[in-house]
Amino acid sequence: MTSAQRSNDNSTAPYQQPVDQVLAVLDTDAAFGLSKAEAQARLEKYGRNELAAEKPVPAWRKF
């Protein structure tokens, strides 16, 4: 298998692929990032980039 074939393999981790290929797959630009329209579309599709906060355990339950 040539390095070009390995780069096109979907099972290859992004950190093992050429930067240009990863940028193309992610549909973005290294210098400018996402366009406002693309950022808005991804926000609507995937939601905000945040972790769900766990409810804190009340102090009385810790005893």
Q: What is the pLDDT along the chain (63 residues), one digit of tens a residue?
A: 455 554 455 678 999 999 999 999 999 999 999 999 999 999 999 999 998 888 888 888 887
CA 23 → CA 3, 29, 31, 55, distances in Å?
A: 18, 6, 11, 37
Query: Which tokens go with 32?
Result: 């400018």
- How many other CB atoms are there within 10 angstroms of residue 5's CB atom? 9
pTM over 0.85: no
Give residue 9's pLDDT: 56
